[in-house]
Amino acid sequence: MQPSEMVMNPKQVFLSVLIFGVAGLLLFMYLQVWIEEQHTGRVEKKREQKATSGWEPVNYLQPIPRIMTREQIRGHITNQNLKFHITEDPKGKKENLLLNSERPMRVFTKTSHSQGEDRVLGKTTGPPTIKLIAKHQGTRTVFKKFSEIKWPLDIHPLNKSLIKDNKWKETDVAQEKRRSFLQESCKKYGGVSRPQSHLFHMVSRIYVEDKHKILYCEVPKAGCSNWKRILMVLSGLASSAYNISHDAVHYGKHLKKLDSFDLKGIYTRLNTYTKAVFVRDPMERLVSAFRDKFEHPNSYYHPVFGKAIIKKYRPNACEEALNNGSGVKFKEFVHYLLDSHRPVGMDIHWEKVSKLCYPCLINYDFVGKFETLEEDANYFLQLIGAPKELKFPNFKDRHSSDERTNAQVVRQYLKDLTRTERQLIYDFYDLDYLMFNYTTPFL
């Protein structure tokens, strides 16, 4: 071959460079994904943020029909498709359970933890799959397919054998009416026989107290701080509910959540423990959340939510407000809540109870109300056999000098809104009003 024939022409050079460039780009992308998958530090924060995400919001400029079809209600109650698969390993042993979801991948392994809790040993972001590996020495356990679970879960009659006096008679009657009303409302407006949202999200707000076999679904601004104190006392973590600080309650991570267990642990507790949820008038709860998070200094809600809300919903906002996010007005907050294109996601403090606790799929044995909080809570403590000296605390967790949010306070905030905006707030929380038999507010 002549030397002249060995010289590549410009076209061949260009193609060669292009091929090597594409190959290099693909290799770089693969390495980048691999590196991200190894990084585990960010997952917990993302997981907590996902737990606060809500249903698909509505555009506050578009009124919602007051009468909703079964299909529309069904779409509100459950919003994700769920499939469970049991896959066989190369040896034919059915040990792996794959759960399709949109959460980051989490790998669980059964340990000999003294309290039976399943510790998260490794967490990685990746395809929309949650992979749980259950390993048991000497025995092989195959989890029951989630698709075979009967939904909604069976409701169990309350064990009233520990109630010795008649002072709880009226409370008991009210309790039975609430449970019956909730069941009938779910049958009428829900019509769902199986969940379409993945199990770990459904139970992510439920706290576990194994000693007294309690499951408590956290509804912020409905007495949840003091309920967590009670759970800490019941589990032996504290001697008195009055000695536990706000930070210890919310940031101490002393309590277990139901989504920290494997599928078998979740399903067993859902079917054998006493399940409780405490709710509040939706409009009062919304105003209470606004007052708490936006009318007092807050190092999280002001920069994260406040800045985004002011930027989008306040024309000609001053530089100071845009920089620190302080001074959000209730009307601006409502516009954010009802906007179908929110600049920042939902938060558990104003999320619907229907979405936090899934009461049409998880049949709660006890439905308490903030309006009768002490009475309901102390009756519940009697039912589960709590120590006689343990009473539900009645103090305000934060901003104790502020007036509690009540109907009169709510009316003052609603005065700044148009009739349409007030109606749309009601429509947003429509299911909560229906399921928990709250009176339609004056709009």
Domain assignment present for residue 276? The answer is: yes
Q: Report the domain count for the chain.
A: 1
Domain assignment present for residue 220? The answer is: yes
Q: Give the pLDDT confidence of 100-113 residue by residue, as tens digits.
A: 333 333 333 333 33
pTM over 0.75: no
Domain assignment present for residue 424? The answer is: no
Domain assignment present for residue 319? The answer is: no
Range of the domain at 205: 166-281+351-403
The sheet carrying 214-217 orders its strands as 256-257, 206-209, 214-217, 274-279, 366-369
- The neighbouring-strand residues paired with 98 are 85, 131
Tens digit of pLDDT per residue, the chain (443 long)?
554 455 567 777 777 778 877 777 777 776 666 665 555 444 444 444 444 443 344 343 343 343 444 444 444 444 433 333 333 333 343 333 323 333 333 333 333 333 333 333 333 333 333 333 333 333 333 334 444 555 556 566 677 767 777 888 899 999 999 999 999 999 888 645 555 568 889 999 999 999 999 999 999 999 999 999 999 999 999 888 888 888 888 887 789 999 999 999 999 999 999 999 999 999 999 999 999 999 999 999 999 999 999 999 999 999 999 999 999 999 999 999 999 999 999 999 999 999 999 999 999 999 999 999 999 999 999 999 999 999 999 877 777 778 899 999 999 999 999 999 999 999 999 999 999 999 987 66
In whole angstroms, give the CA distance from residue 49 to residue 170: 40
Contacts of 248 (CB under 8 A, 6+ apart): 254
Domain assignment present for residue 246? The answer is: yes
Helix (H, G, I), strand (E, B) or coil at 177: helix
Domain assignment present for residue 334? The answer is: no
Domain assignment present for residue 395? The answer is: yes
Contact 358, 215 (CB under 8 A): no
The amino acid sitting at 29 is M
Domain assignment present for residue 322? The answer is: no
Helix (H, G, I), strand (E, B) or coil at 364: coil
Burial class (CB in 10 A: 0-12, 13-18, 19+), 429: buried
